[in-house]
A and B are shown apart, each in its own frame.
Chain A
Amino acid sequence: VSPSLRRFAPLYLMLLPGLIYFATFKYIPMIGIVIAFKNYNFLDGVLHSPWVGFDNFRRFFEGIYFERILGNTLMISMYKLLFGFPAPILLALLLDQVGRKRFKRLVQTFTYMPHFMSWVVIYGILLVLLSPGEGLVNELFKKGGMEPFSFLTEPSWIRSILVGSDIWHGAGWGAIIYLAALSSIDPSLYEAARVDGAPLWRQIWHVTLPGIRNMIVVMLIIRLSHILDVGFDQVLMMSNAMNMEKADIIDTWVYRVGLLEMQFSLAAAVGLFKSVIGLVLVLGANKVAKKLDSQIW
């Protein structure tokens, strides 16, 4: 036994539960990936179902709706990245500038509360607000002499609704981690900046943002690994037959074809495809981050 092992034995011991957790819940289940290359049926089980090579992948790529669902997934994902990712940072910066503690806490509580609402509830709220007939917004439209508009069924609106409600749902919660990072910035840096005569936006630019830069990069890398996950629950809840052409994503297709039709192999193949894309992006992003010296590993 090496001296270092003996010396740090308690620390290694503490590491053990974590390792066991990842092995049991993350690594062992990966064996199930083999069904992506099989025609899985319940009778034969994971081990004895027949091998089909890349047939499941081919079915996905050659599917009639492949282009549509991939396009929608990427577009919604991009919008969420573009508008959704900076939102919590912005919120955290704004909250950071609030001097009155009570007010700050109140705002913070209100902004992260939506995180605890399920999409069913949020869609219910949207229905009450945006229904074409008796929705609040349309009632106001009618009062103002405008034509009512069916926001929830219009294909051109669904992505805005998805991204908007996602920001409302997650920005407050996402801001917490940035607020924690902000509080770790050395106050003497601000003092020095003020002494040098830096106005507020200069302080933010030269002190605050560099202070949380690492956190932003880490969050971005993690985010990129989910590039093809654009919120299945949300889309399933908010999309309907009328706006499906702009809202049908990979996950909703897998739900219809894989889960409801019991083609688990196909679902597994698509899941594997998504993970590989995510992995490639994470590796690439980390490489770029290394140049900024804020890589994860």
Chain B
Amino acid sequence: VIELFNGQSSPTIFEEEKSLGGFSVRGKQTKLAVLSLLLGMTAVTGACSTKEQPAANSPAADKAQSKKFKISLFNPGVNADAPHVPREQDPIGQMIEKKMNVELEMIIVPEQAPAKLNAMIASGDVPDLITTNRNDAVKFYEQGIITDLDSLLQKTPALQQLYDKARWQKSTYKGKIIGIPNDQPTAGQHGYWVRNDWLQKLGLKQPTTSDELLEVMRAFTFKDPDGNGKNDTYGFVGGLAKDGTFYSGTNQLFLMFGVYPNHIDVVNNKLVYSNTDPKMKDALAYMKKIIDEKLIDPDWVTVSDFVKTEDKMYRGKSGILVFDWRRGKEPQFQALMKAASGEIPDWITIAPPKGPYGDQFVNLDPTYSSVWGVSKKAAADPEKAQRIIELLQYMYTDKEIYPHMSYGLKDIMWKEENGKIVVTPNADAQETRWARHWRFPRTSDDPVYFGANNPKTLEYWALNKKYSKPNPAVPVLIPDPSDTLAADRIKYMNEMLLKFATGKEPLANWDTYVQTLKTKFKLDALLDNYTQQLKAEGILK
């Protein structure tokens, strides 16, 4: 939801698979990496040279004689923490380059990508294709950095037909399409993980309400569930993003109360701003209990990224967390648990506990806001603009390139067995993680990509998907360009919510906080603006 304001550190996109094993071992296996890369290259290039028969309707058929364009892609795919390999060592990129007669430059930014992108833009070095979200795309469009795409898309019908009207509508601004859908977010990414072995040892039931959840947290903290005689376990572990938003579990707890930090919701035909909703006060009081009673791993304040949460789960010292649906039962992650703690705990996913008002959610519906923006500078050359769109069409619609882009290096990360594609156990290996930068065309219902070794994994995923909170407002709202207080306001709210939760500011001062937001930070003007936008979209009647 933070992305609504400025896209900074948006933990909602891609977080599902950002770094699957922690980067503690990186660099130790460089030799192996190089070797396997070399093997991979020969394998893949070998494979595609035998398949080199131009299909009749291939967009590449007439590309061979045409002009070669250099096209840069800014930060697509997942695992930006893995540096991209040079072009010569990237067989997937080479396949695309050959087909489309282009030279691709992959720009991968592991941290603070929005800042890096803005810095590039400010220096006039705008990437040709930019991975961004709808809000930033609007900003870029208003500033004349990216171009509208309607006329270009008319020449690529396959790409246009790939998405329905509603989806295109989500990247339309002032009647023009300003972005092409980039990456399909997955619903139900997170679920409540509970250590079943601890529940059984202490003779506890699975928690079904927020109060029961609190009780289980207490038991996990004080009743020595691991039986080592030491007071070294915690009920819960979550995180806190760098900008101060609750993150990686602590945020999902709020959903039990029907609110979510910085969220904008529509309830009974009225706009409801979570940060000033009275229910938020209850949610903060609940958080405060968890923090005051020391039920949460005290490191939560420094758990600011996916890798750190993951690490906490593998160490298994906290009995409950809200995390990725694949982590508990898949063998590759269980191996990491074994390595970190010496045991494989019986993690199970439970349905989210019900809150005092009957709210039962664990995720917000995904926003479908990830888009490709096309640089206006690149589009100044009509031929290049055309090639860029054709390139996207090829990457998103071509059946042959799909497995290479979506699953990675052939015969290393996946292989064909009896005409069926199987993902190998090496798919998550450290040294080939860069190949995931190409994963953006994968569909969110791809059974191979989202396959599981343990049937429980898919069961849990389905369970999480059942408890998605509808998200009617956020995907359509765009920030008000004349709102000069946006950054200061979000900072103030993040800080205050955190102070309420940690007890630095007594909850008795809640009304003063709401009042300050209205007077000093002009919150009402912002909410009026949002209400008008929602009325224009027909979401508010």
Q: Are A242 and B144 in contact, with the CB atoms below 8 A?
A: no
Q: A41-B143, A262-B143, A264-B122 are in contact. Are A242 and B301 (CB under 8 A)?
A: yes
Q: Are A64 and B244 in contact, with the CB atoms below 8 A?
A: no
User: Which residue of A242, A244, A260 contacts B118 across the interface (Cβ within 8 Å)?
Assistant: A260
User: Which residue of B142, B144, B242, B487 contacts A260 across the interface (Cβ within 8 Å)?
Assistant: B487
Partner-contacting stretch, out of A109-117, A130-138, A166-174, A199-207: A130-138
User: Which residue of A134, A152, A244, A263 contacts B244 across the interface (Cβ within 8 Å)?
Assistant: A244
Q: Are B487 and A64 in contact, with the CB atoms below 8 A?
A: no
Any B CB within 8 A of the CB of A59: yes
- Kindly list chain B residues whose C-beta atoms are within 8 Å of the C-beta of A263: 484
How far, in whole Å, are A241 and B496 apart by their CA atoms in the complex?
A: 10
Q: Are A43 and B144 in contact, with the CB atoms below 8 A?
A: yes
How far, in whole Å, are A65 and B521 apart by their CA atoms in the complex?
A: 11
The residues in A between 125 and 151 inclusive whose CB is less than 8 angstroms from any CB of B are: 127, 131-134, 148, 150
* Nearest-Cβ distance from residue A38 to partner chain B, whole angstroms: 14
Any A CB within 8 A of the CB of B302: yes
Most buried by B among A43, A133, A256: A133
Any A CB within 8 A of the CB of B243: yes
Q: Are B8 and A63 in contact, with the CB atoms below 8 A?
A: no
Most buried by A among B7, B8, B302, B521: B302
- Kindly list chain A residues whose C-beta atoms are within 8 Å of the C-beta of B492: 64
- Kindly list chain B residues whose C-beta atoms are within 8 Å of the C-beta of A264: 122
* Nearest-Cβ distance from residue A117 to partner chain B, whole angstroms: 16
How far, in whole Å, are A264 and B121 apart by their CA atoms in the complex?
A: 11
- Kindly list chain A residues whose C-beta atoms are within 8 Å of the C-beta of B529: none
The residues in A between 223 and 243 inclusive whose CB is less than 8 angstroms from any CB of B are: 240-242
Most buried by A among B7, B118, B485: B118
Any B CB within 8 A of the CB of A21: no
Any A CB within 8 A of the CB of B139: yes
Range for the number of chain A residues in contact with chain B? 20 to 34
Q: Are B301 and A150 in contact, with the CB atoms below 8 A?
A: yes
Q: How would you classify the secondary structure of chain A's contact residues: helix, strand, loop or mixed?
A: loop
The residues in B between 8 and 22 inclusive whose CB is less than 8 angstroms from any CB of A are: 8
Q: Are A261 and B486 in contact, with the CB atoms below 8 A?
A: yes
Q: Are B144 and A244 in contact, with the CB atoms below 8 A?
A: no
The chain B residue sitting closest to A130, CB to CB, is B302
- Kindly list chain A residues whose C-beta atoms are within 8 Å of the C-beta of B7: 260
- Kindly list chain A residues whose C-beta atoms are within 8 Å of the C-beta of B397: none
Q: Are A64 and B243 in contact, with the CB atoms below 8 A?
A: no
User: Which residue of B119, B244, B298 contacts A148 across the interface (Cβ within 8 Å)?
Assistant: B298
Q: Are A63 and B488 in contact, with the CB atoms below 8 A?
A: yes
Q: Are A257 and B487 in contact, with the CB atoms below 8 A?
A: yes
Q: Are A257 and B299 in contact, with the CB atoms below 8 A?
A: no
How far, in whole Å, are A215 and B512 apart by their CA atoms in the complex?
A: 54
User: Which residue of B139, B298, B486, B494 contacts A241 across the interface (Cβ within 8 Å)?
Assistant: B494
Contact with B along A149-165 (1 / 0, CB 8 A): 01011000000000000
How far, in whole Å, are A152 and B242 apart by their CA atoms in the complex?
A: 13
How far, in whole Å, are A261 and B484 apart by their CA atoms in the complex?
A: 9
The residues in B between 290 and 312 inclusive whose CB is less than 8 angstroms from any CB of A are: 297-299, 301-302, 304
Q: Are A262 and B118 in contact, with the CB atoms below 8 A?
A: yes
How far, in whole Å, are A84 and B329 apart by their CA atoms in the complex?
A: 51
Q: Are A240 and B301 in contact, with the CB atoms below 8 A?
A: yes
How far, in whole Å, are A52 and B310 apart by their CA atoms in the complex?
A: 49
Given contacts A132-B298, A133-B299, 16 further A-B pairs with CB under 8 A are A41-B144, A42-B143, A63-B488, A132-B301, A152-B301, A240-B240, A241-B494, A242-B240, A242-B502, A244-B244, A245-B495, A255-B115, A256-B8, A260-B118, A262-B143, A263-B484
- What are 18 A-to-B residue pairs whose CB atoms are below 8 Å? A42-B144, A59-B484, A63-B488, A64-B488, A65-B491, A127-B302, A133-B297, A133-B299, A148-B298, A150-B298, A153-B301, A240-B242, A241-B240, A241-B243, A241-B245, A256-B487, A260-B114, A261-B486
Residues in A lying within 8 Å of B, measured CB to CB? 41-44, 59, 63-65, 127, 131-134, 148, 150, 152-153, 240-242, 244-245, 255-257, 259-264
